[in-house]
């Protein structure tokens, strides 16, 4: 009986090594990819170079109190506000794509965790979310926006940081190509 159990768990371990990183990326794609993509598009300004001319909404979402203090005129904000808005908007486009295709997955997922932490901080301190939206753990209510939902986001991203993208990813293709290149005889 113990031998059967041991064989079964070894099989599940091997399956998990292949399946779990792939599922983590699939869940990210299904739950958060469009969320972040749509959020990023609201920050674009007009025209082809809209990323570099952020919309009013971009400043209002990222720096709500600074926009208010500037009389709701983003031109009254400093260069650093513009740089952060542009970098944040670019990150909302680039990081999710990297995670979904599985390219530079570990650093992209780590950066995305940082993004979620900053996003949560801005939601609480800048947009004034209340206790019900912030929530607490172990309260038998799993529906709070920050502590409950975003804990799952960070967990899935943390899994990708620790385990990588899995076998169905650009990272795996790069790794295989690298192994093939380094193991082949070099010409003299």
- Domain of residue 103: give its range: 24-166
Residue 64's alpha-carbon distances to 57, 68, 108, 163, in angstroms, are 9, 6, 26, 36
Residue 173 domain flag: no
Residue 64 domain flag: yes
pTM beyond cutoff 0.95: no
pLDDT in tens, 61-106: 999 999 999 999 999 999 999 999 999 999 999 999 999 999 999 9
Give how many domains the chain has, as a whole number: 1
Residue 183 domain flag: no
pLDDT in tens, 152-164: 999 999 999 999 9
Answer whether 55's CB lies under 8 Å from 68's CB. no
Residue 171 domain flag: no
Residue 118 domain flag: yes
């Amino acid at each position: 009986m113990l031998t059967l159990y041991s064989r079964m768990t070894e099989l599940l371990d091997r399956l998990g090594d292949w399946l779990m990183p792939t599922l983590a990326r699939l869940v990210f794609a299904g739950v958060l990819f469009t969320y972040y993509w749509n959020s990023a598009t609201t920050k674009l300004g007009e025209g082809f170079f809209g990323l570099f001319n952020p919309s009013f909404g971009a400043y209002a979402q990222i720096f709500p109190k600074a926009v208010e203090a500037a009389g709701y005129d983003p031109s009254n904000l400093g260069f650093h506000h513009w740089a952060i808005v542009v970098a944040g908007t670019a990150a909302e486009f680039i990081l999710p794509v990297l995670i979904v295709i599985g390219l530079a997955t570990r650093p992209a997922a780590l950066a995305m965790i940082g993004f979620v932490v900053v996003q949560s901080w801005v939601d609480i301190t800048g947009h004034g979310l209340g206790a019900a939206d912030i929530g607490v753990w172990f309260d038998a209510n799993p529906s709070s926006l920050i502590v409950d939902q975003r804990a799952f986001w960070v967990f899935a991203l943390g899994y990708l940081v620790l385990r990588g993208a899995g076998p169905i990813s650009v990272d795996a293709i790069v790794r295989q190509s690298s192994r093939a290149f380094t193991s082949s005889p070099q010409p003299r």
